[in-house]
Chain A
Amino acid sequence: DTEVTQTPKHLVMGMTNKKSLKCEQHMGHRAMYWYKQKAKKPPELMFVYSYEKLSINESVPSRFSPECPNSSLLNLHLHALQPEDSALYLCASSAGTEAFFGQGTRLTVV
Chain B
Amino acid sequence: GENVEQHPSTLSVQEGDSAVIKCTYSDSASNYFPWYKQELGKRPQLIIDIRSNVGEKKDQRIAVTLNKTAKHFSLHITETQPEDSAVYFCAASRRALTFGSGTRLQVQP
Contact = CB atoms under 8 A, between A and B. Distances in A.
B22 to A, nearest CB: 15
Nearest to B43: A101
Interface string A83-110: 0000000101000011101111000000
B102 A42 contact: yes
A106 B42 CA distance: 10
Interface stretch (B13-21, B63-71, B78-86, B88-96): B88-96
A45 interface: yes
B95 A56 contact: yes
Given A97-B49, A97-B51, A98-B49, A43 B34 contact: no
Given A42-B101, A97-B49, A98-B34, A90 B96 contact: no
Interface residues of A, number: 19
Contacts of B49: 97-98
A90 B91 CA distance: 15
A55 interface: yes
B99 interface: yes
B97 interface: yes
A42 B99 CA distance: 6
B46 interface: yes
A56 B43 contact: no
B36 to A, nearest CB: 8
A56 B51 contact: no
Interface of B: 32, 34, 42-46, 49, 51, 89, 93, 95-102
Given A41-B102, A55-B95, A99-B97, 5 more contacts: A42-B102, A97-B32, A97-B34, A97-B49, A101-B45
Closest 10 pairs between A and B when the two form their complex, measured CB to CB: A42-B99, A101-B43, A97-B32, A103-B43, A48-B96, A45-B96, A101-B44, A42-B102, A42-B89, A43-B99
